[in-house]
Amino acid sequence: MTKPIVKLTEYNPDWETQFENENNRIVDVLGNKIVGIEHIGSTSIRGLAAKPIIDIMVGVRDLDEVSDFVRPLSDIEYEYVPKPEFKDRIFFRKGLWGQGTCHLHVCEFNGMEWVEKLLFRNYLRLHPQAAEEYASLKKELASTYQYDRPTYTKKKEPFIKAIIDNARKEF
């Protein structure tokens, strides 16, 4: 098992195409079981350096129905990964552990997870200065915590929370 490291790459416009391809594949296997699907995370923000992992958020009416997703998603190479620390979402990964190419987050449509992830993404898309600050923070943390992805992620939380708070006020 390879240990996940934090390796940022410069923005790649192909990430949008990769999302569209995955979007189509997910919709093909889940169809009307989903209410919405969004490209989230750093790869969804033009110009932002990121770990080259496409984060996809799928909105559903009821998280209890997600157990029915495991088989069809496995048919398109998404593996269910139990994450007890995630209270409001269910996680799937495409690719090897620590080397995933896509992360799929299933949550309640218009629930807190859904809303906050879109607030964060949309705020950074509309505020290049905030996106630049986030990029600088990520690069600094990636340098410090290259071999400690959980800490890298945890150290970003205060910035993310501040952006979500700003977005709530603005939007």
How much of the chain is in helix, strand and coil states, percent to nearest 5? Answer: 55, 20, 30
Place of tokens 């240990």: 3
85 pLDDT band, cuts 50/70/90, is confident
To the question of domain 14-170 being in CATH 3.30.460.10, the answer is yes
pLDDT at 1 over 70: no
pLDDT at 34 over 90: yes
Q: Which two tokens stand for residue 88?
A: 């409001």
- Edge-first strand order for the sheet with 78-81 is 36-40, 54-60, 102-108, 89-94, 78-81
Domain spans, the chain = 14-170
Mean pLDDT of the chain: 94
The pLDDT tens digits of the residues spanning 116-170 come to: 999 999 999 999 999 999 999 999 999 999 999 899 999 999 999 999 999 999 9
171 pLDDT band, cuts 50/70/90, is confident
Q: In this structure, are residues 134 and 87 in contact, taking their beta carbons and an 8 Å threshold?
A: no
DSSP 8-state class, residue 85: T
DSSP three-state, residue 43: helix
Angle at 84 between CA 27 and CA 135, to 5 degrees: 70
- Neighbouring CB atoms inside 10 A of 146's CB total 13
Residues forming beta bridges with residue 78, ordered by sequence position: 94
DSSP three-state, residue 44: helix
State the number of CA atoms in the 13 A half-sphere of 11 facing the CB.
13
pLDDT at 112 over 80: yes
Phi, then psi, of 85 in degrees rounded to 5: -70, -15
97 pLDDT band, cuts 50/70/90, is confident
